[in-house]
Amino acid sequence: MEKLKPYIEKIRLFWKKRHITQIILLALLIVILLSILYFTYLASQANVSTLKAGLSQATVIYDKDGDEATRIKTDRTEGVEISELPDYVPGAVVAIEDERFYQHNGFDIKGIARVFFKNILAGRITGGGSTITQQLTKNALLSSEQTYKRKAEELFLAVEIEKHYKKDEILQMYLNHVYFGSGAWGIDTASQKYFNKSIKNVSISEAALLAGLLQAPSALDPYKNYDGAMKRRDVVLSKMKEQNIITNKEYKKAVREKIILEDGGGSFIKREYPYYTDAVIDEAISLYGLTQDELLKRGYKIYTEMDQNLQSTLEKTFDRDDLFPSSSDNTLVQGGAVLLDPETGGIKGLVGGRGEHVFRGFNRATQIKAQPGSTMKPLAVYTPALEEGYKVTSKLQDKPFKKGDYEPQNFTKTYQGEVPMYEALEKSLNVPAVWLLDKIGLDKGLDSLERFGIPLDKEDEYLGVALGGMHKGVSPLQMAEAYSTFPNDGERMESHLITKIVGPTGKVIAEYKSKSTKVTSKSVTDDMTSMLLDVIKTGTGQGAQVSGFQIAGKTGSTQLPFNATGTKDQWFVGYTPNLVGAMWLGYDKTDQQHYLESKSSGDVVPIFKTIMDQAVQYVEPENFSVSSVSQQLANEEDTKQKVEKTKKEITEKAKELEGTLRENSSKWKEVINEMKKDAEKVTEKVKEIIGN
């Protein structure tokens, strides 16, 4: 230690001479000042003057034209007026949540100091210490993340809110939007949920129980933890007496009161276009980090790619029981369908099922995983084969094929020896597709599927993927996005519903940025469209033809897991130059009583046709830049026949001319002889003249 003393003394003198302590303190003060300025600036940018109106409004979904499509109406968009409530209702909340609410300017120094040291000891943000104004700020304007930055934003925004609103206005907003557990948002809804009565009619004891739930709505849920909720009620009543909100007599009566629970229903959620709206909420949560609670209670404006005409077309079609097969026990055959703009990837419409629909329930348009059957062939086989140099007329082997344990069969169990590619696709022959994938290499097919955006598992890496044999499967949305590559010249645009989200204060909090993947070349997609046009014209998808419009597409079906005549899943994916549609049909659970009795795609094709018959009325009519393979071959044959006919006519004319010349050859000889004699006479005359 003695040896270190000289060094310590040097450091002390240097520290003192250079004023290091003052520099550190100055630096800290500068950091604090800059932080204050930063958060003050952030708070000033939030248009809190519109907060009250925003919170009382429903979240609105807008369509592609900016027109209102639907409002997501919940109980909290209505709310109650604080002036209509008994004083002990807001009093109970203030007593337990923020006893100095009417004295502070948005934040409570004592509460903040207490919680700060508590957090320091805990080594993390544990929450607490927030005033009612801060809680309102967090619920209405901020995320729920527990960080010091978010806490600072909360504090400065709370001060800003206090500048714009009276205390009772702040408390009213808080009471109408805070969570009380059991799905009840807002104090009036909570009163209905727990007591089956209006909040205007609750007793002091009941008001105290509701206020007590705010500490831990799930843990203190009186339906699950009655004793815990009652103990917390007593704490609230004690606070109310302590702060002279209620008298001692009222306190004693309230403590003795036995609360009887009665579920009066609680929250509700109403909206038009339920499947599309719920998918929008799912996307806002998964892509933009919002929560369901924020989306339902903050009055957002969400702009989407929805075409209300196309969405209505889908919903009306799915409501028609006559289009769908029926079951013996009235179990609904289910389905999911998507309509998508290939140029932008914008989802114009979607429906995820039939029958009753619960809020954010299972969506078969976006969430189902089903084997796609032969709709996979263009993606896994024919596109990569064309990229490898095969032609639409290339001959493919169509004879019994086996590799290892895998032995595919054609649907008809018959074989032609060899067929051109376009015919194999048109008739949806299985063996030529598998043979071709084996020929070009499985890795080429898997790479193609990855480019098309089809998710694969390790179990999918076998030749059966050519026929849609997948471990899990795909959704109609994934198939629609993949097929959108064909009418979009080889470019796959990311599918999306949301274009922009605007918060309750008018701030844009999320905006879609276009994402694309170059899948293949235009020449390849032109060839694919040429072949898929024939699928609709003369192949397995003939039933999907729409008068006056060109549609290309592919059918698909999967086998039953038991011995019966029918199919498990049926698919159809089709497109015009500016609209792609994909549909899945089947039962949620396939068994021997519940399966599609038609072969191939016999049920799904007429449903898809019905959708497209209506949908094409709302899109600009366009024609593909290419014709079907059969039309191209017919044109080539027609040209060939015309050439042969012309050659024949020329040959016949030549023969006719030759015959004429032969017939008149003797006459021509006489003429020539006469001409020779005349020439000789002329020559003699000339000589006589020259001689003289």
647: exposed, middle or buried (C-beta count within 10 Å: 0-12, 13-18, 19+)? exposed
Q: CB-based contacts of 250: which residues, under 8 Å, 6+ apart?
A: 204, 241
Q: How far apart are CA 392 and CA 420, in angstroms?
A: 7
- Alpha carbon 537 to its chain centroid, in Å, reads 31
Q: How far apart are CA 71 and CA 67, in angstroms?
A: 12
Cβ–Cβ < 8 Å for 220, 197:
no
Cβ–Cβ < 8 Å for 189, 177:
no
Cβ–Cβ < 8 Å for 50, 506:
yes
Say how many Å lie between the first and final Cα of the chain, rounded. Answer: 158
Q: How far apart are CA 354 and CA 323, in angstroms?
A: 12
Number of residues that this document lists for the chain: 692
Q: ∠ CA(686), CA(689), CA(692), 5° rounding? A: 150
Question: Considering only CA atoms, which of 198, 194, 188, 196 is closest in space to residue 209?
Answer: 194
* Percentages of the chain per state (helix, strand, coil), in multiples of 5: 50, 15, 35
Q: How far apart are CA 515 and CA 511, in angstroms?
A: 13
Q: CB-based contacts of 344: which residues, under 8 Å, 6+ apart?
A: 305, 493, 514
Q: Is 326 an annotated catalytic residue?
A: no
Structure tokens at 650: 């020329």
Q: How far apart are CA 304 and CA 676, in angstroms?
A: 97
Q: Is 97 an annotated catalytic residue?
A: yes
Residue with tokens 């192949």: 539
Q: How far apart are CA 420 and CA 313, in angstroms?
A: 38
Cβ–Cβ < 8 Å for 376, 466:
yes
**Half-sphere exposure of residue 348: CA atoms within 13 angstroms, side-chain side:** 22
Q: How far apart are CA 230 and CA 592, in angstroms?
A: 53
Instruction: Report the relative pairing of strands 334-340 and 508-511 from DSSP bridges.
Output: unpaired
Q: CA quadruple 685, 686, 687, 692: dihedral positive or negative? A: positive
Options 130, 205, 374, 630, the catalytic residue: 374
Catalytic residues: 97, 374
